[in-house]
Amino acid sequence: MAELSPDRFWSLVDLLGGRVDAAGVARLEEALLAADVEETLGFADELDALVSELVVRCTVVLDPDAQRVEVPDEVAEPAELVAAAVVAAGRGTHDRVLAAGQPLSSREWAWSEAALLLEAGMGDERLDDLAGPDVLLQWRTTQVPDRVDTDWDADALGGLDLGVDPTLGVVLARDPDLEEALLRLQADPEYQRRRALIEDIDLHLVVSEVAEPELTAWPAPEAVEHAVLEVPVGTFPLDGSARTDTYLDLVVTLVVSVQEQLGDPA
């Protein structure tokens, strides 16, 4: 996980001038570009954690005008944008609001451009060299957390159990928290060494209603092309809090297990 001290994080937030707008985010991105790429990742990590904490602790009340603000689905929910605006207001305001734990009205915060803050630094070309490994995600559950995008529909299947054999097809899901976890792991030399040993094996993470995690190899353990780690949906928080650290643990477990059991054990 990329580390960034609280003082450094809030000094970067201060560049926004107390609110989110294009000019303030431009100043922030200029500072991130001048720093080490790890600061960009660390800033994103801390911002995501603080936004998630506010959403969980303080109920966000959206007025009707909020429904007319166009926000790309892959960026954030309106409630997360309101929380991001609270963070942008600075450390003192954030701490006061969090401690009070009172509902947040979208009318009281300048959040219409907050998506710019959540994406700050992500256009840094240095991140292009940190492309994550190909871990394909599926969510096969009736409960799906916010920001997870999946076409899985158990009712449409009429109770048919397709299993997890990826050679029979997959129903992909997308979660920005997984993408962030994969991005962080590119800065881990030991992880990269292990991943390189099994680079010819496609990795899959399936979240389902199973009782226990299970690792399987397809089409056969002696001729593995795909490795699937199926985990219980209860592995993840479903209350809106961040899933990035959980994904980190699961991806590392998947890579290490596949490398030791099915790949080169060196």
Per-residue model confidence (pLDDT) at position 203: 94
Give the domain-ending residue among 65, 94, 124.
Answer: 124
Q: For residue 1, tell me if it sits in a domain.
A: no
Cα-trace Rg, the chain: 20
Number of domains in the chain: 2
Residue among 170, 147, 135 at smallest CA distance from 258: 135
Same domain, residue pair 117 and 189: no
Per-residue model confidence (pLDDT) at position 155: 63
Per-residue model confidence (pLDDT) at position 20: 92
pLDDT of 171 > 60? The answer is yes
CB 95 within 8 A of CB 54: no
Same domain, residue pair 173 and 112: no
- Model confidence at 72, in pLDDT bands (50, 70, 90)? very low
20-24, 100-104, 168-172, 192-196: least confident range: 168-172
Per-residue model confidence (pLDDT) at position 212: 95
Same domain, residue pair 150 and 190: yes
CB 105 within 8 A of CB 138: no
Q: For residue 266, tell me if it sits in a domain.
A: no
Give the domain-ending residue among 90, 124, 158.
Answer: 124
Q: For residue 113, tell me if it sits in a domain.
A: yes
Range of the domain at 63: 6-124
Same domain, residue pair 13 and 113: yes
Same domain, residue pair 109 and 136: no
pTM: 0.53
pLDDT of 86 > 50? The answer is yes
DSSP states of 72-138: -TTT--HHHHHHHHHHHT-HHHHHHHHHH---EEGGGS--TTHHHHHTTTTT-GGGGGGPPP-EEEE
Same domain, residue pair 116 and 141: no
Distances (CA, A) of 149 to 51, 74, 144, 223, 241: 20, 8, 8, 32, 16
Phi and psi for 136 in degrees, rounded to 5? Answer: -85, 130
Same domain, residue pair 109 and 185: no
Instruction: Report the C-alpha gap between 12 and 103 in whole angstroms.
Output: 26
Same domain, residue pair 84 and 150: no
pLDDT of 67 > 60? The answer is no
Q: For residue 204, tell me if it sits in a domain.
A: yes
Same domain, residue pair 196 and 77: no
Which residues have CB under 8 Å from 92's CB, separation 6+? Answer: none
Same domain, residue pair 142 and 185: yes
Mean pLDDT of the chain: 83
Q: For residue 35, tell me if it sits in a domain.
A: yes
52-61, 116-125, 185-194: least confident range: 116-125
pLDDT of 244 > 70? The answer is yes
User: How large is the average pLDDT for residues 118-126?
Assistant: 70
User: How large is the average pLDDT for residues 26-38?
Assistant: 86
Q: How many helices (H) and strands (E) does the chain have?
A: 9, 8
Same domain, residue pair 193 and 212: yes
Q: Is the peptide bond before 213 cis (omega within 30 degrees of 0)?
A: no
- Higher pLDDT pick, 133 / 111: 111
Q: For residue 173, tell me if it sits in a domain.
A: yes
Same domain, residue pair 146 and 49: no
Give the domain-ending residue among 124, 156, 171.
Answer: 124
At 185, which amino acid appears? L
